[in-house]
């Protein structure tokens, strides 16, 4: 176990999947359960960190001694990440953020009509949260992203390190139902900005979280 590897560090973790409302009774979302992010928050707290967990719609018990902030949409997640990142040593973005949201949110329930057999939704891009906060990153802050990919895992994850100015990305093959979205277990590759990489065993999300904590404690120094 990671002992007190992160004693005194301030860590912000995001978890779950954003919901983007369409009308008062409907929203667009994804299959994230929040299990991966919650496991990281728990592991970081056990390792002595001061943890803020920003949870997008996860139905999971709040980990002990962790500050929980609940959000629904990508816009709310962005606001909360910006507020909490300013004083953080490490940001870990395990949340699955909707890339697009409905262009308009109807104030009343959208009705089907007799002559409309199909319907087109207009979506607009959500802000990229990692890119937005990277712009205000201090040299001693560490930003960890995830990459959920169904194909070309390492190539796509590598592009995201540069595009989002990350120190580390956790590449997650979500085409395999035993790992990734809503599974108990996971198997990931930790990819560093310098090209170094290491792949975990297929193991519990908590074990993956513990490996991440150990990597953060060993590879990065936050307090100079």
Q: What residues make contact with ligand PMT under the rule CB under 6 A?
A: 32-36, 74, 93-97, 99, 126, 128-130, 145-148, 160, 172, 174, 180-182
How many other C-beta atoms lie within 10 A of the C-beta of residue 96? 25
Nearest Cα to Cα of residue 128 among 155, 92, 163: 163
Q: Which is nearer to ligand PMT, 5 or 36 (CB)?
A: 36
CB under 8 A, 24+ apart: contacts of 147-154: 147/171, 147/172, 148/96, 148/172, 148/174, 148/180, 148/181, 149/173, 149/174, 149/175, 150/174, 150/175, 151/175, 153/189, 154/189, 154/191, 154/197
Would residue 30 show up in a list of annotated catalytic residues for this protein? yes
Q: Which is nearer to ligand PMT, 80 or 126 (CB)?
A: 126
Q: Which two tokens stand for residue 140?
A: 């001693």
Least distance CB 178 / ligand PMT (angstroms): 12
Query: Per the annotation, does 152 bind a ligand?
Result: no
Query: Per the annotation, does 167 bind a ligand?
Result: no
Q: Which is nearer to ligand PMT, 35 or 206 (CB)?
A: 35
Catalytic residue among 30, 84, 186, 210: 30
Query: Per the annotation, does 153 bind a ligand?
Result: no
Least distance CB 114 / ligand PMT (angstroms): 38
Query: Per the annotation, does 99 bind a ligand?
Result: yes
Least distance CB 86 / ligand PMT (angstroms): 16
Could you list the residues known to form a binding site, using ranges.
99, 109, 127-130, 146, 160, 164
Enzyme catalytic residues: 30
């Amino acid at each position: 176990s990671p002992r007190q590897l992160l004693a005194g560090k301030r860590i912000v973790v995001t978890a779950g999947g954003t919901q983007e409302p369409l009308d008062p009774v409907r929203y667009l979302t994804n299959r994230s359960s929040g299990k991966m992010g919650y496991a990281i928050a728990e592991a970081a707290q056990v390792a002595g960190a001061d943890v803020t967990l920003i949870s997008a719609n996860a139905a999971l018990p709040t980990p002990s001694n962790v500050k929980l902030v609940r959000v629904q949409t990508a816009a709310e997640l962005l606001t909360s990440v910006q507020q909490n990142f300013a004083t953080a040593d490490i940001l870990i973005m395990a949340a699955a953020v909707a890339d697009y949201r409905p262009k308009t949110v109807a104030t009343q329930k959208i009705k089907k009509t007799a002559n409309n057999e199909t319907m087109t939704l207009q979506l607009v891009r959500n802000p990229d949260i990692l890119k937005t906060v990277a712009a205000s990153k201090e040299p001693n802050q560490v930003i960890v992203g995830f990459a959920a990919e169904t194909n070309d895992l390492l190539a796509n994850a590598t592009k995201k390190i540069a595009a989002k100015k990350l120190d580390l990305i956790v590449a997650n093959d979500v085409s395999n139902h035993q790992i990734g979205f809503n599974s108990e277990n996971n198997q990931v590759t930790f990819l560093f900005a310098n090209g170094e990489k290491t792949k975990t065993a297929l193991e519990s999300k908590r074990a993956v979280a513990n490996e991440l904590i150990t990597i953060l404690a060993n590879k990065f120094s936050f307090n100079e």
